[in-house]
Amino acid sequence: MSPQAVSDARQLAAEMSGGDSSVVTGPLKGYHHETYVLRLLDGTQIVKVREPRSEILWFDRRCFESEEKLLRALQGELTRIPEVLDVAGMGFQGFIEGRTLPARRWAGGRVPDAVLDQIVELFRQMARIGPSRLEDVPRRCRLEDRAADGDTDGFLERLIVFIEEQVYLKNFAQFGALFEELGVRPDSFTHLRKHVAGLKQRPFCLLHADLHRKNFVVDSQGELWTIDWELAMLGDPLYDLATHLYLMRYPKDQRHRMTEDWRRVVERINPDGAYGLETDLDSLLDFKRAQSVFTDVIRVSLSLSEGTGFNWLALPLAARRLQRILSAAAQPLGLTGVPSQPEIMTALVRRQRSLLSAADS
């Protein structure tokens, strides 16, 4: 979509507002969608009007055909999730008014105990929702691409295949040389598979799969709402905990409390739901560290080229971030060494110069 083009989401929001731009806010910040918030003409409801951004790269495997259809199926099953409102024959997500959990609002990345308790309650509610409860919700993936209930190794293998094929190989022409300079090669996936193999079997349940601070909204009453269910899937419950811990960056004591509280509520729903936590949680966290390499190398590189030119001022910070990510994933990816920050800066600049040379030729 060109910068001058009027998106379908913007046009629809304008039509629904009756031409009153004062009731439309947006576009909101967000990676996957161009989103507008619209207060309906009766003044009682606020909805989100959005469409997927055509120019973005998808780094995560999507399971359900429609987030709105999933949310409809989950009404009454989960508390404090967006409602789907029917307006003019179409379904729109209700907008949750409140504040997301900022990364540094509380010292050391801590969250209030009341918030922590509500996140645990969310995990408890999701643990009750097995594959049979959502079998009527349309899926994106083919039946043969879905792991059998309890096949945690098969579930993780499909996530690895997605990263390998849809992130690494799909973008190899643009980023292959950069990955090579950073020490990440095709055999890194062989190392990763060996490193995470042998997970214990656990019954599948609903996973949000993206429970980070910006996907939690605290309203004026202190109630916690969970938004952005687009990456939700059915799979290994421990994977959802690992993803949450990796993204939240809790201080040590809150990480321990979340893990133990998660175990307690999940085992109460299904005694086998937390089976193998002592060994498998570390393996799944290592997978998340490895996954981050493939997504963040591309994202960081692209971020330096946003706008009118190369962002030289952001280069040192970008190199420092990538070195930290590579160091964390060195063992699961079998990296023989992690390049220094100057070496990473050189690799990022070399990619930019190769793009300029290709454009001039």
Report the pLDDT value the prediction gives residue 1, as an integer from 0 to 100. Answer: 38
Higher pLDDT among residues 356 and 285, named by residue:
285
How far is the CA of 139 from the CAs of 90, 145, 153, 154, 356, in angstroms? 20, 11, 21, 18, 41
- DSSP collapsed to 3 states, 2-34: CCCCCCHHHHHHHHHCCCCHHHEEEEECCCCEE
Domain shared by 122 and 12, yes or no: no
| Least confidently predicted of 25-29, 220-224, 282-286 | 25-29
| Structural domain includes residue 299 | yes
| % pLDDT > 90, the chain | 70
SS3 90: strand
Report the pLDDT value the prediction gives residue 75, as an integer from 0 to 100. Answer: 95
Domain shared by 50 and 169, yes or no: no
Report the pLDDT value the prediction gives residue 251, as an integer from 0 to 100. Answer: 93
pLDDT (tens digit per residue) in 286-337: 999 999 999 999 999 999 987 678 999 999 999 999 999 999 999 999 999 9
Domain shared by 103 and 222, yes or no: yes
Cα separation of 322 and 296, whole Å? 7
| Helix ranges (DSSP H) in the chain | 8-16, 67-74, 113-127, 152-162, 172-181, 188-196, 237-248, 252-269, 277-304, 315-328, 330-333, 341-360
Domain shared by 274 and 153, yes or no: yes
| Structural domain includes residue 74 | yes
Domain shared by 162 and 310, yes or no: yes
Domain shared by 47 and 189, yes or no: no
| Structural domain includes residue 278 | yes
Side chain identity, residue 51: E
Q: Is 88's pLDDT higher than 80? A: no
Average pLDDT estimate for 120-129: 98
Domain shared by 317 and 350, yes or no: yes
Q: Is 79's pLDDT higher than 90? A: yes
Mean pLDDT score of the chain: 87
Q: 188: which 2 tokens?
A: 């890194």
Domain shared by 239 and 315, yes or no: yes
- DSSP letter for 166, please: I
Domain shared by 300 and 176, yes or no: yes
Domain shared by 289 and 271, yes or no: yes
| Structural domain includes residue 65 | yes
Q: Which residues contact 340 (CB under 8 A, 6 or more apart)?
A: 323
The domain in which residue 153 lies consists of: 61-81+99-360
| Structural domain includes residue 94 | no
| Structural domain includes residue 184 | yes
Q: Which residues contact 238 (CB under 8 A, 6 or more apart)?
A: 152, 202, 274, 276, 277, 280, 281, 284
pLDDT (tens digit per residue) in 178-209: 999 999 999 999 999 999 999 999 999 999 99
Domain shared by 134 and 76, yes or no: yes
| Structural domain includes residue 115 | yes
Side chain identity, residue 130: G
Q: What are phi and psi of 234, to 5 degrees?
A: -110, 130
Report the pLDDT value the prediction gives residue 60, as an integer from 0 to 100. Answer: 81
Q: 356: which 2 tokens?
A: 């300029």
pLDDT (tens digit per residue) in 152-185: 999 999 999 999 999 999 999 999 999 999 999 9
| Least confidently predicted of 30-39, 138-147, 220-229, 253-262 | 30-39
Average pLDDT estimate for 9-31: 56
For residue 339, whether the previous peptide bond is cis, meaning omega lies within 30 degrees of 0, is: no
pLDDT (tens digit per residue) in 46-61: 666 666 554 556 678 8
Q: 47: which 2 tokens?
A: 């909805």
- Domain count of the fold of the chain: 2
| Structural domain includes residue 91 | no
Cα dihedral sign, 306-308-314-316: positive
Q: What is the CATH number of the domain that holds 120?
A: 3.90.1200.10
Crossing angle between the packed helical segments 315-328 and 341-360, to the nearest 10 degrees: 120
Domain shared by 256 and 334, yes or no: yes
Whether residue 211 contacts residue 244, with contact meaning beta carbons closer than 8 Å, is answered with: yes
